[in-house]
């Protein structure tokens, strides 16, 4: 489910997720915040591997791994742009939401929805 709420855009699951649910590794074009509303989550973040100044395809190095209890005072996590990350629900049921800034076609943050979908990918 996707919601435009004032100056932010929110993407969330439309149902509670079960233990073992995995959001496979993916990247985003811009930094965004993930809010974990329920469940116990493992978040892994990976970086590219370089050799002679070029990215080695198919190889990643784990940059960090955190465990987050949904609904706790520390249930928000910054996901950096261009960082491969995976979410795994260790104890369900669980839910999470990704929170994005609206952006212009130039990538600048704007308070209003512009319709530029690359801002939310």
Question: What is the Cα–Cα distance from 56 to 49, expressed in whole angstroms?
Answer: 6
Q: What is the pLDDT of residue 109?
A: 92
For the entire predicted model, the pTM comes to: 0.85
Q: What is the pLDDT of residue 90?
A: 99
User: What are the residue boundaries of the structural domains of the chain, listed by start?
Assistant: 2-120
pLDDT tens-digit profile of 57-89? 888 888 899 999 999 999 999 999 999 999 999
pLDDT tens-digit profile of 14-73? 899 999 999 998 889 999 999 999 999 999 999 888 888 888 888 888 889 999 999 999
Question: What is the Cα–Cα distance from 85 to 94, expressed in whole angstroms?
Answer: 18
Q: Does domain 2-120 have CATH number 2.60.120.10?
A: yes
1 has pLDDT over 80? no
The answer to whether the CB of 87 falls within 8 A of the CB of 20 is no
115 has pLDDT over 90? no
Question: What is the Cα–Cα distance from 61 to 8, expressed in whole angstroms?
Answer: 31
In order of 53, 86, 113, the CA distances from 33 in angstroms are 30, 14, 17
């Amino acid at each position: 489910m996707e919601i435009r709420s004032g100056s932010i855009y929110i993407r969330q699951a439309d149902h509670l997720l079960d233990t073992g649910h995995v959001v496979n590794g993916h990247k985003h074009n811009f930094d965004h915040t993930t809010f974990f509303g329920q469940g116990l989550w493992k978040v892994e973040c990976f970086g590219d591997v370089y050799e002679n100044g070029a990215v080695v395809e198919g190889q990643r190095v784990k940059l960090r791994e955190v465990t987050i209890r949904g609904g706790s005072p520390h249930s928000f996590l910054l996901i950096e742009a261009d960082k491969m990350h995976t979410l795994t629900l260790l104890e369900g049921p669980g839910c999470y939401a990704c929170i994005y800034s609206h952006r212009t076609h130039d990538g600048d943050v704007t308070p209003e929805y512009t319709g530029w979908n690359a801002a939310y990918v």
